[in-house]
């Protein structure tokens, strides 16, 4: 089955302590769509300006990402520039130019309305809700978010949460949204805001998955070097959504399936941070994904009897 992915598409300039690159393919939907495309067909909804390089469009097409929902507007593409500090754990935004993204309203081509799986990648929660308004009962809806929306659009975010099956957010955002320092409490509290499932991403410490009376703790893939953390969360979310859409499960999405989806999300994110922008995903092979999946199993399991 297909997964509909809506979010930002942009051109990034990224500086790390060791390198700087400009005009990179970026944006939450770009990372998520390419990541999901390793598992299932993707319907991409987003906006770019008329300066958006054809090479990036071709890359999406090569990944078999359906581009009927990619709007091209007169003007410039959304641009973001950021700088990572010494340990790559903190970053500052150097500049943002919204450009054509400023007035973006995601409009679904009619043939997308019935997509079974939906990933609302990180954009304003009002736009995420607007996407759902156009859809007829998807099987499973995942939303990603960020601290900005918790700060400036909390009512919109809370309204959205009542409509999604899973929220994905990072540890700092979970604490901010709930006012709880304990991530275990925070995860459970967010479930009471609507989503049946919550994933809290902890970067190098892995991810926590919360369900009703169910919990899963996924370690990170052990990487010695990280070259660019940009888009790791979006790639994670794309991997989760793509894996779910790839399954022929007639019983719906179960907790054991979600556990595996979180592991696949972790694997995809681990590749993505190995190079700038989406470069590593360009050469990624399915067998490499399976190898890291098996590695995470090997380093997480400690007892043959399950």
- Three-state secondary structure call for residue 71: strand
Nearest distance from C-beta of residue 96 to its own copies, angstroms: 28
Give the residues across from 118 on adjacent strands: 4, 141
Distance separating alpha carbons of residues 161 and 156, to the nearest angstrom:
9
Q: Which two tokens stand for residue 278?
A: 């989406």
Site for its own copies in 227-286 (CB under 8 A): 256, 259-260, 262-263
Tell me which residue of 32, 34, 44 sits closest to 4, measured CA to CA: 44
Site string for its own copies, 86-125 (x = CB under 8 A): xx--------------------------------------
For residue 216, state whether it binds its own copies (rule: CB under 8 A).
yes
The residue among 9 and 273 lying less far from its own copies, judged by its C-beta, is: 273
For residue 202, state whether it binds its own copies (rule: CB under 8 A).
yes
Give the residues across from 256 on adjacent strands: none
Alpha-carbon torsion 306, 168, 172, 30, what sign? positive
For residue 17, state whether it binds its own copies (rule: CB under 8 A).
no
CB atoms within 10 A of CB 94: 12
Q: Which of 5, 14, 218, 240 contacts its own copies by CB under 8 A?
A: 218
Q: Which of 90, 93, 181, 283 contacts its own copies by CB under 8 A?
A: 181
The residue among 21 and 259 lying less far from its own copies, judged by its C-beta, is: 259
Q: Which of 96, 148, 152, 299 contacts its own copies by CB under 8 A?
A: 299
The residue among 67 and 189 lying less far from its own copies, judged by its C-beta, is: 189
Instruction: Report whether 196 contacts 209 (CB < 8 A).
Output: no
Distance separating alpha carbons of residues 54 and 51, to the nearest angstrom:
9
Distance separating alpha carbons of residues 153 and 126, to the nearest angstrom:
8
Q: Which residues bind its own copies (CB under 8 A)?
A: 86-87, 181-185, 188, 202, 204-206, 208, 215-220, 222-226, 256, 259-260, 262-263, 297, 299-304, 306
């Amino acid at each position: 089955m297909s997964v509909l992915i809506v979010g930002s598409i942009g051109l990034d300039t990224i500086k790390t302590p060791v390198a700087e690159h400009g005009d990179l393919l970026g944006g939450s939907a770009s990372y998520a769509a390419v990541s999901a495309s390793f598992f299932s067909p993707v319907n991409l909804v987003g906006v770019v300006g008329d300066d958006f390089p054809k090479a990036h469009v071709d890359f999406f097409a090569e990944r078999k990402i359906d581009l009927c929902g990619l709007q091209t507007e007169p003007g410039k593409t959304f641009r973001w520039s950021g700088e990572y500090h010494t340990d790559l754990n903190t970053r500052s935004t150097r500049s943002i130019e919204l450009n054509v993204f400023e007035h973006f309203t995601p409009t679904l081509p009619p043939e997308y309305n019935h997509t079974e799986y939906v990933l609302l990648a990180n954009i304003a929660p009002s736009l995420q809700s607007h996407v759902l308004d156009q859809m007829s009962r998807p099987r499973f809806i995942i939303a990603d978010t960020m601290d900005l929306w918790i700060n400036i659009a909390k009512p919109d975010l809370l309204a959205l949460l009542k409509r999604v099956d899973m929220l994905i957010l990072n540890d700092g955002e979970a604490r901010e949204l709930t006012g709880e320092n304990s991530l275990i409490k925070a995860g459970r509290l967010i479930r009471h805001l609507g989503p049946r499932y919550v994933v809290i991403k902890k970067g190098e410490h892995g991810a926590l998955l919360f369900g009703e009376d169910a919990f899963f703790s996924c370690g990170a893939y052990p990487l010695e070097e990280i070259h660019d953390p940009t888009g790791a969360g979006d790639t994670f979310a794309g991997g989760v959504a793509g894996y779910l859409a790839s399954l022929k499960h007639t019983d719906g999405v179960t907790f054991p399936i979600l556990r595996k989806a979180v592991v696949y999300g972790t694997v995809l994110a681990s590749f993505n941070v190995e190079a700038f922008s989406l470069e590593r995903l360009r050469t990624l092979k399915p067998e490499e994904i399976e190898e890291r999946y098996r590695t995470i199993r090997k380093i997480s399991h400690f007892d043959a009897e399950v």
